Amino acid sequence: MIVRFDNVGLAYDSGSESLRDVTFTLNEGEFRFLTGPSGAGKTTFLKLIYLAMKPTRGRMTLFGQDVTEAQRDMLPPLRRRIGVVFQEFRLLDHLTAFENVALPMKVAGVNQQQYREDVRELLNWVGLGSRMDALPQTLSGGEKQRVALARALVSKPDLILADEPTGNVDPQMGEKIMKLFVELNRLGAAVIVATHDLQLVQALGKRTMQLNGGRLIEDAPMRERGRMR
């Protein structure tokens, strides 16, 4: 088991809950799409999983450990098992594509000789082998998203979370990026992709979860749902 939520709720200071009574389980090797209208809480849901926020009620388990009231010192090893692809890329403008991808390893204190080849292989894998020395401001939106994806993968995570990864790219590039997530899942990583692009969701036919009014609705794969109508 990778992630488990039991009646999780998250309330803001105002007292209103952005998530309420959320229960779900993500197992090893699963691929889920997370859908829902803007403001439904998709980003908040992902932030809970990668430990950027804590639930205000309920119980949350990550990689078999109860993290509901986890002490700060137990969180970094768990976070290193999660790769996050942010919608806004979060690349550092003064670093090259290679340096941005290598940053998590550098911060973790890993010697460059140990990760140099992995970074090169990742950039080649996402189709940016010729752009390793390029600065972010010279990259297209699709190229920036692929750098962000490679950065999320450099630590070989067990779980990959992506927040609207196709929101800033054209449909053709969006399809390519989604195929990369499918390939990562085939190679063994569990994947959750938050997206509003229902056409891509339906095309891939993966299991969906929908947030609506702060509540989570789990569903069958989109292709199956289409046949049931």
- DSSP assignment of 142-173: HHHHHHHHHHHHTT--SEEEEESTTTTS-HHH
Instruction: Note the pLDDT tens digit of each residue in 170-190.
Output: 888 888 889 999 999 999 999
Residue 88, domain member (yes or no): no
| Inside any domain, residue 54 | yes
Q: Which of 130, 156, 182 is the last residue of a domain?
A: 156
The model carries a pTM of: 0.90
In terms of Cβ atoms closer than 10 Å to its own Cβ (0-12, 13-18, 19+), residue 187 is: exposed
For residues 55 and 108, membership in a common domain is answered with: no
Which residue range forms the structural domain that includes residue 103? 93-156
State pLDDT tens for residues 129-175: 999 999 999 999 999 999 999 999 999 999 999 999 988 888 888 88
In the chain, how many domains are there?
A: 2
In contact, 84 and 50? CB cutoff 8 Å? yes
Q: Is residue 210 part of a domain?
A: yes
Domain co-membership, 117 together with 33: no
